[in-house]
Amino acid sequence: MKPAPFDYRAPATLQEAIDLLRTEPEAVLIAGGQSLMPVLAFRLASPSLVVDLRRVAGLGDIAIDDGGVRLGARVRWRDIDDDPRLQTAHPLLREAIAHVAHYQIRNRGTVGGSLAHADPAAELPGIAVTCDAEITLVGAAGARTIGASEFFTGPMSTARRPDEIITELNLPSWPKNRRWAFQEFAQRQGDFALAGVALFYDADQGGRVRNAHVGIIGASDRPQRLTAVETLLNGHAVGEGLFREAAAAATRAVDPPEDLHADAAYRRGLVATLVARGLRAAQRRGA
């Protein structure tokens, strides 16, 4: 399974990389290559040029401040693992990323690569959407920022223009007492999730849910927030009854795909289970 032939360039600057993309319509970008290389191996794509970001500086930082958490596009899963600040700065991100793939892939796979690849079952796009993150892209027309939920347009499909390069993912800041959970179900460790739920809420003085964000992966054609479930949760006291209602609402809110691993009914069932378990886990965090 050797790729079709292509040229290769490793530009020194972001602008050079953009120029290459702009002038060569059949070019693709490579960073970690963990998603692109299998695509090339199966000859699902035959680009004329592969543009490697390995020499482009400034894309590998994790910046944490009052504005939130900014992940450079070349930040690897392993860098997220290794950064102790994220334990408090964004525990939901950290927990979700712990489920990504395997040891060797985690040493190479990147934030930007995952966002660009846009697998509907991938963890980071799910976190991005659930947390109202913003994605910065730089292209021939300059830089722009787009909300995560607008960025993902369908399975393996995004709003990125061919000449644009993702440079950063910006997650809003994370308050200390936030309740959160990440629950995923995959057949084996590291497999793509058959379904996954990322959720958080802030509790008010009376222990009622406020600002609920419930996002799912793997159960739709793109990561999505389940606004019906969020509405159901907001303003109510947490408890098993509420969790079950939320779980039931979640099954009605998703339209899961069917594939050789799971049918829609099962994925709906999984979503219910994972929403309920997530809400219980989030509640325990506040206890």
Partner 1 sequence: MQVNFQLNGEPVEVDIEPRLHLADCLREMLRLTGTHLGCEHGVCGACTVIVDGAAVRSCLLLAVQAEGSSVVTVEGLSTDEALTPLQAAFRKHHALQCGFCTPGMLMTAHALLTEEPDADADRIRSVLSGNLCRCTGYIPIVEAVLEARAAYRKSDKP
Partner 2 sequence: MIGRNRYIGSPVERIEDLRFLRGRGEFVGDLVKDGMLHAAILRSPVAHGRVRRLDTAAAHALPGVNAVITAAEIGAVPSIPLRLLPLPGTERFLQPVIAADRVRYVGEPVAVVLAESAALAEDGVGAIALDIEELPPVADRRAAGRDQVLLFEESGTNLAMQFTATLGDADAAFRDAPYARRERFQTQRYTALPMEPRGLLAEWDAGRRRMTVLGAAKVPFFNRDTLAAMLGLAAADVDLIENDVGGGFGARGEFYPEDFLIPFAARHIGRPVRWIEDRREHLTAMNHARQADCEVEIACRRDGTILGLRGEVFVDLGAYVRTNGLIQPRTLAQFFSGPYRVPNIRITSTALLTNKTPSGTYRAPGRYEASFFCERLIELAAGDLGIDSAEMRRRNLIAAAEMPYKLARLEPGGPAADTECDSGDYREALERCLAEFGWAEKCALRGRLIDGRYHGIAVACFIEGSGAGPKETARLELEPDGTVAVYVGSAAVGQGLETVMAQIAADTLGVPLDQVRVLHGSTPYLQEGYGAFASRSTVLGGSAVFQGARALLDKIRAAAAARLGVSAADVELIDGRARTSDGRALSFSELAADGLRVETAFANNNRLTYSYGSAAAHVAVDPGTGRVELLDFLVVEDVGRIVNPLTLHGQAIGGVVQGLGGAFMENLVYDENGQLLAGNLADYLIPTATDFPRIRAIALENHPSTSNPLGVKGAGEGAIIPVGGLMANAVADALASFGAMPNQLPLSPARVWQMGPMEEPVGIP
Residues that bind partner 2 (CB under 8 A): 1-5, 42-43, 185, 187-192, 194, 240, 259-263, 265-266, 269-270, 272-273, 276-277, 280, 284
Measure the CA–CA gap between 124 and 23, rounded to whole angstroms: 30
Rank residues 60 and 286 by Cβ distance to partner 2 and give the closer one: 286
Rank residues 41 and 63 by Cβ distance to partner 1 and give the closer one: 41
CA dihedral defined by 98, 101, 102, 107, rounded to 10 degrees? -80
| CB-based contact 198:126 (threshold 8 Å) | yes
**β-strand partners of 203:** 209
Least distance CB 7 / partner 1 (angstroms): 6
**193 vs 121, 160, 185, 274, CA distance in Å?**
6, 24, 5, 12
What is residue 78's three-state secondary structure?
helix
- Which window, 183-191, 216-224, 250-258, 261-269, contacts partner 1 (CB under 8 A)? 183-191
What is residue 258's three-state secondary structure?
coil
Rank residues 152 and 185 by Cβ distance to partner 2 and give the closer one: 185
Out of 18, 27, 50, 246, name the contact with partner 1 by CB under 8 A.
Answer: 50
Q: Is 27 in the site for partner 1 (CB under 8 A)?
A: no
For 201-221, letters b (16+ CB in 10 Å) and e give bbbeeeebbeebbbbbbbbbe
Instruction: Name which of residues 83 to 102 contact partner 1 (CB under 8 A).
Output: 101-102
Q: Is 237 in the site for partner 1 (CB under 8 A)?
A: no
Least distance CB 108 / partner 1 (angstroms): 6
Residue owning tokens 């990504």: 100
Q: What does 270 bind: partner 1, partner 2, none (CB cut-off 5 to 8 Å by kind)? A: partner 2
The tokens describing 241, both together, are 């009854």
Q: Is 52 in the site for partner 1 (CB under 8 A)?
A: yes
Q: Is 207 in the site for partner 1 (CB under 8 A)?
A: no
| CB-based contact 255:267 (threshold 8 Å) | no
- Residues lying near partner 1 in the complex (CB under 8 A): 1-8, 10, 30, 33-34, 37-38, 40-42, 50, 52, 54, 78, 101-105, 107-108, 188-190
